[in-house]
A and B are shown apart, each in its own frame.
Chain A
Amino acid sequence: MNQQRRSLLKYSAVFGLMASAGLISVAQAQEWNKAAFEGKSLEDVFKILGAGSPDKSGAVTLNAPDIAENGAVVPVGIVTTLKAEQMAILVEKNPSSLAAQFFIPAGTEPFVTTRIKMGQTSNVYALVKADGKWSMAVKEVKVTLGGCGG
């Protein structure tokens, strides 16, 4: 076997290992919480997440528009001064309340923004777990019927 081919095989073996290592760590990351994402009501999801009855806290800010021009894309952000380890976005009137959740390692800011679908005007909840305690913020987001224009 010539030198070039040997190096090529060595590199592909290394890349193969790295790739599988990457795949393994994706699986290791908190397994997708099926029960939580299937929870129909807020109370169901609070219970499954172990959030009990979270207190409203001024330390949690939910960034969301007052009106969304279209319910298919509603920008929602959570930011908090608490040392968040876990953050979740819930939509009260969606068929399943939990839209997304995030696990925040040390060194990452307690700040996340994404976009969610809302079936209708509803309260949106930002849940934050910090030091084992759950807090929340709520905001009503109006969803328009969209339009024909634009």
Chain B
Amino acid sequence: MQRKFTLGLAISISAALLIVSSSVSAQNSATDDIAKYREMIADGNPSELYEAAGEELWKKPAGPKNATLEKCDLGLGPGVVKGAAAQLPRYFKDTNKVQDLESRLMTCMQVLQGRVPQEMIDAPFQKGPKKDMEAIVAYVVTLSKGDKIKVSTAHPKEKEMYELGKRAFFFQGGPMDFSCASCHGEDGKRIRLQDLPNITTQKGAAMGWGYWPAYRVSSGQFWTMQQRLNDCYRQQRFPFPIYASDVTIALSMYMAKNANGGTVETPGLKR
């Protein structure tokens, strides 16, 4: 009687263990399958279409001054595009501020071409002047692909931006009391089938910062980092940040600095 009982117990425990391990392996195999899916579409990234359009826009005279962007200084000197995105955000002496790629491009559009920044800020994503911005961003980031992420916080304003970014990252608010850290502050978090990188670590930050901007297949659109951040705020049910505002640059600084040493994989390809 005693023996039968322990045998029954042993069988039910091993059955339970089997069920647990098979559901764990089912989850792991889903992650593997998603990885296989991503591999299958990796070649032939529609971002290339945006990159080609962006290269043309870079060289095309525009704005009231009818000038091209070819003298734009993205941090490595006027007109130097190769490798520039990997080192943004950074401090710029001429504007006396820390700028990310999009705010810096707006500066160039204003100074070189005479374009009005407020029009770019007010335009909805994917429309009007923002379409130009998306294409130019695709072009610029492609020329940093494969480089190491290398941002500095040596300048006091850079350090300040990093600290502001860190505070913004952990700042809880909105109707759900979320912060960036709610999704991106710990290892092993996931929304449905997407693994969420832990942006407080180098590895996680590089997964996030290194793969956006990206073409998003679910919407068939190329999203810049500003649009990705804007959508994060929407997902948290926060008010939208102003395009290229300090908080967005600060968060970018936080992510980029944490990601230092990682590889620039942009333009990415996302679900």
Contacts and interface: CB of A to CB of B under 8 A. Distances in A.
Nearest to A77: B40
Given A146-B218, A149-B196, A65 B33 contact: yes
B191 interface: yes
A58 interface: no
Interface in A26-75: 63, 65-70, 72-73, 75
Contacts of A63: 40
Question: Chain B's interface: helix, strand, loop or mixed, by majority?
Answer: mixed
Interface size band for A: 10 to 19
B37 A69 contact: yes
Question: Chain A's interface: helix, strand, loop or mixed, by majority?
Answer: loop
A144 B36 contact: no
Contacts of A73: 41, 217
A149 B183 CA distance: 9
Interface centre among B41, B190, B195, B196 (most CB of A within 10 A): B41
A22 B36 CA distance: 39
Nearest to A64: B40
A147 interface: yes
A115 B38 CA distance: 13
A134 B32 CA distance: 34
B271 A150 contact: yes
Interface string B12-39: 0000000000000000001001101110
Nearest first, the 7 A-B pairs at minimum CB distance are: A149-B194, A147-B192, A149-B191, A150-B194, A73-B217, A65-B37, A75-B40
Interface of A: 63, 65-70, 72-73, 75, 115, 144-150
